[in-house]
């Protein structure tokens, strides 16, 4: 059966509802009039309408229709944090700071951070978005941004051995099932260096600051900068 999504994109938390093998569900930070919610993964084989004819869409299709649906600018909270990182408890020079951006799309956030001088690795499920990001790297000659194709629900992430990061920056990524989110979070923590920080921005319609914090290790300390629309958290350990 189809799940109905409210404007902004509400996640059906029950992946066993029907035969659809949900793999990834995301809130669209800037939803357009007709498409508010997107999934990625194997397509349904029954007689349901195609995702494009409904309010649902696969991420692959979303990027095929519009390769850069969220524009070129980084999401606002990330721009604010990295305009004055010390004010948010983030220290270290960009050149000495490595960042992992899970679910980085075509790199509007990761590439922006790399242009500031940070050493950034982006992980993204959709091939075309990764290729778009790689093209931007070549065009910009921005060698400190590395986009890698990866499924966040499968761990370990396909990173060079010994990878460790000073920061995790996660923008508008909310995997649909709690086990996947916890697995992804555990892997991010494994990759985060001692004393590192995590920056999260996502939609208040699909999660809450309490739920987000709960899905990470209880040893994490969080500062909550959320607004009614956005969950904005910075955590450290």
- Please give the C-alpha separations between residue 55 and each of 23, 61, 117, 202, in angstroms, as whole numbers: 17, 12, 39, 20
For residue 106, give both structure tokens.
């075509």
171 binds ligand SAM (CB under 6 A): yes
126 binds ligand SAM (CB under 6 A): yes
Region binding ligand SAM by CB under 6 A among candidate stretches 11-19, 43-51, 79-87, 151-159: 151-159
- Please give the C-alpha separations between residue 140 and each of 67, 114, 228, in angstroms, as whole numbers: 18, 10, 36
Place of tokens 């229709």: 65
Residue 40 neighbours by CB under 8 Å, 6+ apart:
23, 24, 26, 58, 59, 60, 125, 126
- Please give the C-alpha separations between residue 122 and each of 9, 46, 126, 148, 213, in angstroms, as whole numbers: 24, 34, 12, 6, 22
For residue 23, give both structure tokens.
């793999």
151 binds ligand SAM (CB under 6 A): yes
Region binding ligand SAM by CB under 6 A among candidate stretches 26-34, 88-96, 189-197, 223-231: 26-34
CA–CA gap between residue 195 and residue 197 (Å, rounded): 7
Taking the least distance from each CB to ligand SAM, the nearer of 39 and 192 is: 39
152 binds ligand SAM (CB under 6 A): yes
231 binds ligand SAM (CB under 6 A): no
105 binds ligand SAM (CB under 6 A): yes
168 binds ligand SAM (CB under 6 A): no
Binding-site member from 36, 55, 98, 109 for ligand SAM (CB under 6 A): 109
Taking the least distance from each CB to ligand SAM, the nearer of 98 and 153 is: 153
CB of 103 to ligand SAM, least distance (A): 3
172 binds ligand SAM (CB under 6 A): yes
Query: Interface residues with ligand SAM (CB under 6 A)?
Result: 24, 26, 28-29, 40, 59, 70, 75, 103-105, 108-109, 123-126, 129, 150-153, 171-173, 175
């Amino acid at each position: 059966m189809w799940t109905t999504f409210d404007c902004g994109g509400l996640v059906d938390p029950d992946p066993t509802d029907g035969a659809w093998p949900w793999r990834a569900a995301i809130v669209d930070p800037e939803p357009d009039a007709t498409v508010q919610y997107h999934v990625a993964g194997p397509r349904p084989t029954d007689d349901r309408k195609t995702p494009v004819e409904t309010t649902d869409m696969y991420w692959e299709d979303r990027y095929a229709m519009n390769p850069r649906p969220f524009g070129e600018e980084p999401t606002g909270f990330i721009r604010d944090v990295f305009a004055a990182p010390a004010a948010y408890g983030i220290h270290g020079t960009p050149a000495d700071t490595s960042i992992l951006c899970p679910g980085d799309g075509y790199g509007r956030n990761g590439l922006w951070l790399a242009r500031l001088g940070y050493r950034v690795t982006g992980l993204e499920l959709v091939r075309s978005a990764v290729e778009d990001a790689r093209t931007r790297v070549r065009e910009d000659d921005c060698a400190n941004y590395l986009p890698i194709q990866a499924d966040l629900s499968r761990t370990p992430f396909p990173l060079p051995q010994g990878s460790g990061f000073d920061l995790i920056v996660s923008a508008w990524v909310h995997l649909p099932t709690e086990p996947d989110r916890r697995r992804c979070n555990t892997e991010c923590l494994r990759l985060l260096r001692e004393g590192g920080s995590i920056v999260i921005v996502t939609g208040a319609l699909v999660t809450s600051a309490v739920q987000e914090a709960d899905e990470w290790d209880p040893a994490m300390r969080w500062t909550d900068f959320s607004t009614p629309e956005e969950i904005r958290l910075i955590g450290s350990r």
